[in-house]
């Protein structure tokens, strides 16, 4: 299966963002990609006021555009993420959701994931509180991609959905792997402040520990006011932790790679990490314990 990560630089003009993203998606499809992943906030990015002004329901113009594009190109399309307005309100406690949708080649939305982990940080030179605008989702999301075309495919791929800051939390990725995910999508706007140190490291870690392919699609460069600059370096990592494709150039573009289900099966068979789990030995600490650790005997 050939997949693509799309790298963009969002501007305050939503129509321009969709036009440029659409061109890159078509380029990926023409190169043979069957699954294409757009970045976080590919259609609209900016400060809280701007996001609220341009937030939509999932039957609104942006996801409709993405559905038509998936149908036109006959691809599975991960509509990176959009600011989602829910029924009658701006979401719980007056907030939006940061939402990613998987759209199948016929144009139907087959999975919806709302970002669980929100980027509230106070680093030197970087202060950001996503939770002021966005409410957290409350569940992981995996979705089968269905039978893909072509010979020699022993299993249908299963996609796990995540968004940006989720990448720092291994728990949902392990759960998605146990639910059958073989590929993970990570639409992101990873910052230029943290990206050089952590982006590749975390993508490779999630790939190795779960023996999955990971597709990281990022924003790059200066983004609209209210958003930190994007690190870019969109890449695709294999289950052995090797970066098989990456966009080094700090500009919008397409990253392509072929995923090998047979090789993934070999890795999982010869180094059966998931099968070697000892779930009966794992105990979650009590979050209200204040860090107290008990002893046995």
Instruction: Supply the residues annotated as catalytic.
Output: 40, 115, 164
Q: In what order do the strands lie in the sheet with 235-237?
A: 141-144, 158-161, 183-188, 213-218, 235-237, 243-246
Yes or no: say if 157 and 166 are a contact pair by the CB < 8 Å rule.
no
In order of 81, 195, 283, the CA distances from 218 in angstroms are 11, 10, 35
For 19, other C-beta atoms within 10 Å of its C-beta total 11
Yes or no: say if 252 and 20 are a contact pair by the CB < 8 Å rule.
yes
3-state SS class at 171: helix
């Amino acid at each position: 299966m050939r997949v693509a990560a799309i790298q963009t630089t969002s501007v305050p003009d939503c129509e321009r963002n969709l036009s440029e993203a659409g061109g890159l998606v078509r380029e990926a499809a023409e190169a043979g990609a069957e699954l294409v992943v757009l970045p976080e906030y590919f259609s609209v990015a900016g400060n809280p006021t701007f996001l609220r002004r341009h937030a939509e329901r999932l039957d609104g113009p942006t996801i409709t555009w993405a559905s038509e594009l998936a149908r036109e190109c006959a691809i599975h399309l991960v509509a990176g993420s959009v600011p989602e307005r829910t029924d009658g309100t701006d979401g719980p406690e007056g907030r939006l959701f940061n939402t990613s949708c998987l759209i199948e080649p016929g144009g139907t939305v087959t999975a919806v994931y709302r970002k669980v982990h929100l980027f509230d940080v106070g680093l030197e030179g970087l202060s950001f509180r996503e939770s002021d605008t966005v409410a957290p989702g409350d569940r992981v999301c995996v979705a089968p991609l269905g039978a893909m075309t072509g010979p020699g495919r022993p299993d249908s791929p299963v996609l796990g959905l995540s968004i940006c800051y989720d990448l720092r939390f291994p728990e949902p990725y392990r759960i998605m792997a146990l639910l059958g995910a073989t590929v993970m999508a990570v639409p992101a706007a990873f910052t230029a402040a943290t990206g050089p140190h952590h982006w590749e490291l975390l993508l490779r870690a999630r790939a190795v520990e779960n023996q999955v392919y990971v597709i990281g699609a990022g924003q790059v460069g200066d983004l609209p006011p209210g958003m930190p600059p994007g690190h870019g370096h969109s890449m695709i990592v294999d289950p052995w932790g090797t970066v098989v494709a990456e966009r080094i150039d700090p500009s919008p573009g397409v990253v392509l790679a072929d995923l090998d289900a047979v090789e993934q099966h070999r890795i999982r068979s010869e180094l059966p990490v998931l099968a070697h789990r000892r779930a009966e030995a794992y105990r979650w600490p009590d979050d209200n314990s204040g860090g107290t650790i008990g002893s046995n005997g």
